[in-house]
A and B are shown apart, each in its own frame.
Chain A
Amino acid sequence: MPNKTFFWFFLPTGLAMILFIGLPIISTGIQSFYAQHDQIVKEVKKCDPFGCTVSIVVDNEETSKIREVKPLGKFNGFGTYTDRNHLAVDEIKKFWNETESFGAFVDQVTNLPFYKALIFTLTYCLFVTPNVLLLGFIIALSLNAVARKIRGPLIFGTILPMIVTPLVGSLVLFWMIDSQGIIGANIQNLMNDPYLSLKSSKTLTWITIIIYGIWHHSPFAFVVFYAALQTVPQEPIEAAIIDGASRIQRIKHIVLPHIYPVVTFVALISLMDNFRVFEPIIGFSAEGSAQSLSWLIYDNLVNEEVILFGSAAATSMMTIIGIAILLAPVLIRTWKEFKTAR
């Protein structure tokens, strides 16, 4: 296709992506260097028969004036990145000097909001992604062994958790697991502990959200693996059976190598999706004990008094860097393949 024709065909979608994905990333970058204005205060002298007192009040008029002139806020450089709510450079230095043992230091650092969220996000990715691959693969193998006639409805039932939005999915589970729901109440009876509930324990909350993640993402892995299983050639498997290979051996040496490219694809996609975990935290109302990077951004953006654009943008930039690190191996591999292909 000639370049000119390509240009006109691609223009609309390219424009949409540049304007609403490319530019916002740049805009986020710029915003992250600014912070909201401090409130301008003035001294007010109040005199009464007993003498004069000087009090400090917020000058609303001046504050809104400066906000109008410079809506982006004041320039802050890397200040937002290094403050307590983000990388917390000063605090970490202080902890390093003050704490006795390394364990105590780690303890202190993981209590800082950004690191807390980072650790939750990584833990979530680390537990959900492998389990999603495993469960998805087992379901695919299992469904593949069922009679073809009844597979349709079974597949429909299997993909239900995937097609609902994460907020709805997590709410539906939360209403069952909560202490007043069917599962929560029964667990209380079983453990004989009337105060046992999701919100009472940080570990329980994390486990619940991770289970939710596996429940929600496994169907996607299933669908892809299931389709890949249909393309596995039969001859090598029959040969292996004649040679006396066990079922496990057949899966390990024939099926898995055949669908290996698909496994990396699913792992990549679910890693990308898990890294942005956010809605389940709202669905499970777990803000108290589990916060993710995306949730931190959301929290800054829905701030009641003043939207913390700078703070949200700084967290966003660091999230984007995180995504880039995750994606780097794939991009490098594709680039190498592309170069050798030429």
Chain B
Amino acid sequence: MDYGLDTKSTRLKTFNTIFIITWLLIACFPFIWTFWGSFKVRADFFSRSDWWYAISAFNTLIETGGKFTTNAYTQAWTEGEFWKASKNTIIVTVFVVSISLFLGTLGAYALSRSTEKYAFWILMAALIFRAMPHITLVSGYLFPFFELQIWGILPTTIVVLVAINQPFTLWLLYSFFKTVPKELDESALIDGCSYFQAFRHIIMPVMWPGVITAGLFSLMLAYNDFTVTALLLNQENHTMVPKIQSYLGTNQHEGNLMWAVSAVVSATAPLFMLVMFFQRQVISGLTAGAVKG
């Protein structure tokens, strides 16, 4: 910690630097390695004879004539129909984020402005709902969805993801709304606004940082989800993550494993970009509930 009186010995500083560099290597190297390997052929990235082939590109040179190849990408996106999966992911993500935020802001605003006892109990219930493993919920959905014949289509999955996401969104936005002074909407009410007008015209404009954070988390949930999308969508409608799993297959033959590698890179890259731009919001979101806790 950097405090005025606190002087650090050189040894401690060196140790600290080494520790951070080691940790960053552990945290980041797997992604860099996968990115590098996605431009090789399978015989190099998963070499039976010598792992150094992944760097020297021995087989890639023989098979494609260059040190780098984009075959895995082109095949996964066309033959592997990864374009369809990413289209589905975009549809799911856009709808989940917008519906979640719409429901979440309304609900969290009401919770933050209510002085009644039930508001507390609702928040507790939301905490319990947050703890439910998604797979147990899915086992509850499957049978009714089969019976109602709404299994396998995107709208069902979107609604389910919105609902699963609500407890967290509520908690997050609740703690943000609490930081907006009550006097702000009370003065609007006195001036003759209805609650909804106060919410729409007075509170929302100052809430954008919170809304962006909540939006990012809904986006990450919808984008990253495996349990719900893998079990509630049919093959046609699979989003990116279940699609990656389907490339793994049980009998892994040549093309498919490299498809999975390139698909992993394709799916991860946009997420990393997004987090790079919105790093501040992600961190404030994670700590919003905690620090005040």
Contact = CB atoms under 8 A, between A and B. Distances in A.
Interface of A: 1, 3, 5-6, 9-10, 12-14, 16-17, 19-28, 31, 71-72, 138-139, 141-146, 152, 154-161, 163-168, 171-173, 175-176, 178, 180-182, 185-186, 215, 219-220, 223-224, 226-229, 231-232, 234, 237-238, 241-242, 247, 261-262, 264-266, 272, 275-276, 278-279, 282, 285, 293-294, 297-298, 300-302, 307, 309, 312-313, 315-317, 319-320, 323, 326-327, 331, 334, 338
B65 interface: no
B24 A154 contact: yes
Nearest to B216: A163
B293 A265 contact: yes
Interface string B241-260: 10011001000000000001
A226 B199 CA distance: 33
Contacts of A144: 1-2
Interface of B: 1-6, 8, 12-13, 16, 19-20, 23-24, 26-28, 30-31, 33-34, 37, 45-48, 50-51, 54, 102-104, 106-107, 109-111, 113-116, 119-120, 122, 124-144, 146-147, 159-160, 162-164, 166-167, 170, 195, 199, 220, 223-227, 231, 241, 244-245, 248, 260-261, 264, 267-268, 271-272, 275-276, 279, 282-284, 286-287, 289-291, 293
A262 B109 CA distance: 25
A160 B140 contact: no
Nearest to B189: A1
A29 to B, nearest CB: 8
Contacts of A242: 5
Given A175-B261, A223-B286, A13 B113 contact: no
Contact of A185 (B51, B220, B224): B51
B110 A10 contact: yes
B19 to A, nearest CB: 5
A171 B264 contact: yes
Contacts of B3: 234, 237-238, 241
A119 to B, nearest CB: 17
Given A20-B159, A163-B275, A309-B142, A1 B124 contact: no
B179 to A, nearest CB: 15
B103 A27 contact: no
Give the most central of B106, B131, B226: most A CB within 10 Å. Answer: B131
Contacts of B146: 71
Contacts of A300: 139
Contacts of B284: 227
Given A238-B5, A319-B133, A16 B166 contact: yes
Given A21-B167, A152-B279, A320-B132, 19 more contacts: A13-B107, A145-B2, A146-B20, A158-B24, A160-B28, A160-B272, A163-B275, A172-B31, A172-B33, A228-B290, A231-B291, A247-B12, A265-B290, A265-B293, A294-B135, A301-B138, A323-B131, A323-B132, A331-B124
A181 B48 CA distance: 9
Nearest to A147: B2
A286 B43 CA distance: 23
Contacts of A237: 1, 3, 6
B228 to A, nearest CB: 10
13 contacts: A6-B110, A12-B103, A13-B166, A20-B159, A71-B143, A141-B1, A145-B1, A156-B276, A165-B224, A168-B244, A234-B4, A264-B293, A297-B136
Contact of A228 (B1, B48, B139, B291): B291
Contacts of B159: 16, 20
Nearest to A308: B139
Given A10-B111, A168-B264, A301-B139, A157 B293 contact: no
Contacts of B129: 17, 21-22
A215 B286 contact: no
A27 to B, nearest CB: 4
A182 B54 contact: yes
Given A172-B31, A176-B30, A10 B107 contact: yes
Contact of B27 (A16, A17, A26, A215): A215
Contacts of A27: 140-141, 143-144
Given A145-B8, A237-B6, A178 B136 contact: no
A315 B244 CA distance: 27
Nearest to A334: B124
A168 B268 contact: yes
A315 to B, nearest CB: 8
A182 B139 CA distance: 38
B283 to A, nearest CB: 5
A160 B164 contact: no
